[in-house]
Structure 1
Amino acid sequence: MEHGGTAGGADKRALRRELLGARSGLTAAGVREAGRALAERALELPELAAGRTVAAYVSVGGEPSTLPLLEALRARGVRVLLPALLPDNDLDWGEYTGPDSLEQIRHGGKMALFEPSGPRLGPDAVTGADVVLLPGLAVDAHGMRLGRGGGSYDRVLARLEGAGARPLLVVLLYDTEVVPRVPAEAHDRPVHAVVTPSGVLRFPVT
């Protein structure tokens, strides 16, 4: 969740505007190509290649396309969980069984999201994942991730911590979004790795 009254919150908002502006200049072909490269690079992570259950997400807008990775995981027999946004910005989860298991849902005035059309498994379903793939706008050398500010994944990370679950936390980004420093606040938690179209970078987090 954003704490807009802090200097860190203001710094985050400024960095978000800059990064979202850069993404808005990307072509649809560039987004798709990044997705294909990301799928190849992501499967170089042994934890992901060998995972039984992976919590992922369906990319929207200028985010690197995740559909090639979702299909690659499904082809390997991995159980893939996808989020469904709840009214309070928390996330429920459902299973991905192919492109026809997605439905486009618009939440109020927000961007339309692709969510699983099957049964909801509850917010705690994510605690059974071996790997959690997180969206973001940037990550720094310490593994601190910059999200969009809605707080949904802050809740996911807090839920994992509260349950004692320790999945591999991976953010999917473009190469230019690995930055020297992301403004951090007290509630922020680092990720373990970032995957970009050019490779995988792990962070020394405990």
Structure 2
Amino acid sequence: MTPKELKAQYRNERLAARDTIPADERIAKGLAMAAHGGDAIDVRPGTIVSGFLPIRSEADIQPLMARLRERGARLCVPVILDRSTIVFREFVPGVSLVPVGFGTLGPGPDAAVLDPEVMLVPLSAFDKTGHRIGYGAGHYDRAIDRLHQKGLNPRLIGIAFDCQEVPSVPAEPHDVRLDAILTESGLDFVSEAIG
């Protein structure tokens, strides 16, 4: 099996497992993520953090984002501009949300576009070494690459449920490792970049 085929298999299996989590349990697990990460993620006043609004059966990290905002973080969320490009628009309390692609909502075109310093990255599967499998469209890979091309090196924190862990993600040359993984069980650092 090629790395691409194995990634597709893991993606399908782990998303199917995530889909079986009842909605009330997903809420509880999202709150646990906020409890584990809300004070442990290194942010200072003004740090730009990209989060996301949940789609399908993703963890709802809005409580975590609210805690980071209380600590002074400036929040943004991804917006799909076209089939291959996402940008991160500022997400402030009370902002009107509009459809922004991939089945999600976000701030409209009047919102400021920000370059995140910390990225809370949704994913379909991960391993303990910080390798991730996204949803297959490559949006985050390209966004991270664009930030690197600007000379920026955002800290990457994968967001997933425990059931999305796999033994080993086949890493390809373009893959960028996560610095940490946040699940309902805790925040695990996989490099010294954050810890």
Offset of 1:155 from its aligned partner?
0.6
Match of 1:17, as an amino acid? Answer: N
2:97 match:
103
SS in 2 for 1:14: helix
Q: Render the CA deviation track for 1:153-174: whole Å, top value 9, x for unaligned.
A: 0111111221221221101111
Measure how far apart 1:49 and its partner are.
6.3
Following TM superposition, by how much is the alpha carbon of 1:74 offset from its aligned partner in structure 2, in angstroms?
A: 2.2
Aligned counterparts of 1:36 and 1:145: Cα–Cα separation in 2: 22
Tell me which of 107, 114, 120 is aligned to 1:116. Answer: 107
CA contact (8 A) 1:42 1:48 kept: no
Q: Secondary structure at the match of 1:77?
A: coil
Give per-residue Cα distances to partners, 1:167-196, cap 9 Å, x unaligned.
211011112223320122221110100011
Contact 2:53 2:61 (C-alpha < 8 Å) held by counterparts: yes
Match of 2:191 in 1: 204
* Alignment CA distance shift 1:39-1:96 (3 Å): same
Runs of 5+ consecutive residues of structure 1 not aligned to the other structure: 1-5
AA aligned to 1:60 is I
* Residue 21 of structure 1: how far off its partner (Å): 0.9
**Uncovered stretches (5+) of structure 2, i.e. residues with no partner:** none
Letter in 1 for 2:57: G
Whole-angstrom CA distance in 1 between matches of 2:152 and 2:122: 19
CA RMSD after TM alignment:
2.1
Question: Does 1:91 pair with 2:54?
Answer: no
Distance in structure 2 (CA, Å) of the matches to 1:185 and 1:117: 34
Query: 1:195 maps to which residue?
Result: 182
Q: Is the 8 A contact 1:190 1:205 kept in 2?
A: no
Query: 2:59 maps to which residue?
Result: 64
Percent of matched pairs sharing the same residue: 28
Task: Please report the TM-score for the alignment, with normalisation by the length of structure 1.
Answer: 0.84
Partner Cα distance (2:112, 2:92) in 1: 14
Q: Give 1:103 shift.
A: 2.1
Quickly say closer, same or farther: Cα 1:196–1:102, change in 2 above 3 A: farther
Please say if residues 102 and 114 of structure 1, whose CA atoms lie closer than 8 Å, have aligned partners that are also in contact: no
How many residues of Structure 1 are paired with residues of Structure 2 in the alignment? 193
- 1:146 has 2:133 as partner: yes
Note the 1:2-41 alignment, pairs <5 A. 7-41=2-36
Distance in 2 between residues matched to 1:16 and 1:101, nearest whole Å: 33
Are the counterparts in 1 of residues 17 and 163 from structure 2 also a CA contact under 8 Å? no
Q: Is the 8 A contact 1:170 1:192 kept in 2?
A: yes
TM-score, structure 2 as length reference? 0.88
CA distance in 2, matches of 1:183, 1:86: 29
Q: Contact between 1:173 and 1:195, CA under 8 Å: does it hold in 2?
A: yes
